[in-house]
Amino acid sequence: MEVIILNNSVEVGETAASLIASTIHRNPRAVLGLATGSSPSETYLALARMVEAGTLNLSKVAGFALDEYVGIPADHPASYAAVIQQEVVIPLGMTASQVQVPNGRAQNLAKAAAEYERQIVAAGGVDVQILGIGRNGHIGFNEPTSSFASRTRVKTLSEETRRDNARFFDRPDDVPMHCLTQGLGTILDAGRLILVATGASKAAATAAAVEGAVSSFVPASALQLHAHATVIVDEAAASLLALSDYYRYTYANKPS
Ligand code: GLP
């Protein structure tokens, strides 16, 4: 896994965005895997600056969100359908039909999950997947002990994750108990993984994912099994990495 340590969250976003942009420049029909939460916000802002400057065009790109809450309306401001619309579709000059989000309002959630997997395959698979990381090491909504072979399915959110996400809702009890999330197996099928993490609250999870044992107890450690995974962090999120000097050295001396 490649680890890139940068000074702050703006640099993290700009570096992640330039990797994504180079994928799109190579293939204007690239398929992007989209994360929500605060971690990728700077990445989306940096991509939006490129779109505004006319150096990037996402009009032919397809996008698939990682996850969605179960049981809240699509127009609820905390629904990932709404967040993707506000943070990705509109600022990146895309149309809503270019981006899919799992249907957490479906009567039959298992069927909606299977259909989502089919849609990803029909689009040719995800070329580059953007990921954040939860404090307990989750990616998407794959909570600890999620199978590395898992596909899109219903999951129960941990109390810690519900507490962490309460800031997006009026009351803590409003945070849904369940979600639909791409599985770790779905995520590992992407051509490239880019995980962004910033702030001291992500330091322990980042170190466990990058340098700890590969374990379903730390879902993000699944990235160690991927041939093309890049972790981009700021100094605070990197603070518990044992090999931080080595990562800085290899990034500074990367073959061109
Ligand atoms: C959320 C999302 C994840 C996200 C993670 C971290 O619950 N489902 O996709 O990466 O938790 O969130 P944040 O970036 O806001 O810290």
Sign of the Cα torsion 59, 32, 19, 199 reads positive
- Per-residue pLDDT reduced to its tens digit, 2-29: 999 999 999 999 999 999 999 999 999 9
Asked if the model's pLDDT at residue 92 lies above 90, the reply is: yes
Ligand 1 pocket: which of 43, 79, 165 to mutate (most atoms <8 Å of CB)?
A: 165
Please say if the pLDDT value at position 74 is more than 90: no
Q: Which amino acid is at 152?
A: T
The mean pLDDT value for 67-83 works out to 95
Q: pLDDT tens digits for 200-255?
A: 999 999 999 999 999 999 999 999 999 999 999 999 999 999 999 999 999 999 99
pLDDT at 186: 98
Of the residues 39, 88, 157, 206, which should be mutated to test ligand 1's pocket, given the most ligand atoms within 8 Å of the CB? Answer: 39
Q: Is 37 in the pocket of ligand 1 (CB under 6 A)?
A: yes
**138, 164 contact by CB (below 8 A):** no
Determine if ligand 1 sits within 6 Å of the CB of residue 38. yes
| pLDDT band at residue 256 using 50, 70 and 90 as cut-offs | confident
User: In angstroms, what is the span from residue 47 Cα to ligand 1's centroid?
Assistant: 19
pLDDT, tens digit (0-9, with 9 covering 90-100), for 117-144: 999 999 999 999 999 999 999 999 999 9
